[in-house]
Chain A
Amino acid sequence: GAVVSQHPSWVICKSGTSVKIECRSLDFQATTMFWYRQFPKQSLMLMATSNEGSKATYEQGVEKDKFLINHASLTLSTLTVTSAHPEDSSFYICSARENRPPYEQYFGPGTRLTVT
């Protein structure tokens, strides 16, 4: 099956610093990738849609200046959490959508962010 990787798998940072998370589709091209956030024992919430070569689309309530998304190639999207605060601590998961039918979405293993 299609494989999506994320790096790092976990990161601890100090409040006020920025953290970059990478999402890669390893064996397929993905014009579109998605970023989700999951709090403990809760469901996944879509944060933004990342489109290769264009600006990301953010869901209502998600600060685009805080969560910077760059989709530089057909296999790589990055999420940068800027000026991180403890309330940004969460499990961030990306998914990559195949460019051909049935347009399956495959998820990465997630990145655990802890802001101290």
Chain B
Amino acid sequence: QQQVKQSPQSLIVQKGGISIINCAYENTAFDYFPWYQQFPGKGPALLIAIRPDVSEKKEGRFTISFNKSAKQFSLHIMDSQPGDSATYFCAATYSGGGADGLTFGKGTHLIIQP
């Protein structure tokens, strides 16, 4: 599987601040880029996803920015809350036609301090 590089590994943000997590991918065939939130002992939950035909997608406090030429995408969490404290994974796959599994980044452990 092609690698997806995620940074930072851990992040501490004050309540109300903006949390930013970055990912970079190698495989130019990837065309679907989701972000997942995972709490300890639980399965990952889909937060938001983007495809390369748009540069930004916003859903509530969560925004994905996508830079196709740089092969990078990022998650922004606005007005971060203590309940957002979790591990976040970016992922990528090729969704067209066949059925490829997701390639995950290594994850970012986010802590929102009250």
Contact = CB atoms under 8 A, between A and B. Distances in A.
Contacts of A103: 32, 95, 99
Among B41, B44, B101, B103: residue with most chain A CB under 10 A: B101
Interface residues of A, number: 28
B60 interface: no
A93 B44 contact: yes
Interface string B44-62: 1110010100000000000
B102 interface: yes
A102 B102 CA distance: 14
Interface of B: 1, 32, 34, 36, 41-46, 49, 51, 89, 95, 99-107
Interface stretch (A14-22, A73-81, A82-90, A107-115): A107-115
Interface in A92-116: 93, 95, 97, 102-110, 112
A34 B49 contact: no
Interface of B: prevailing SS: loop
A67 B18 CA distance: 42
Interface of A: prevailing SS: strand
Contact of B99 (A36, A45, A51, A109): A51
6 contacts: A34-B101, A97-B99, A102-B95, A103-B95, A105-B102, A112-B41
A104 B45 contact: no
B44 to A, nearest CB: 5
Contacts of A104: 34, 46, 49
Contact of A46 (B46, B102, B106): B102
Contacts of B49: 102, 104
B101 A109 contact: no
Interface in A23-69: 31-32, 34, 36, 42-46, 49, 51, 59
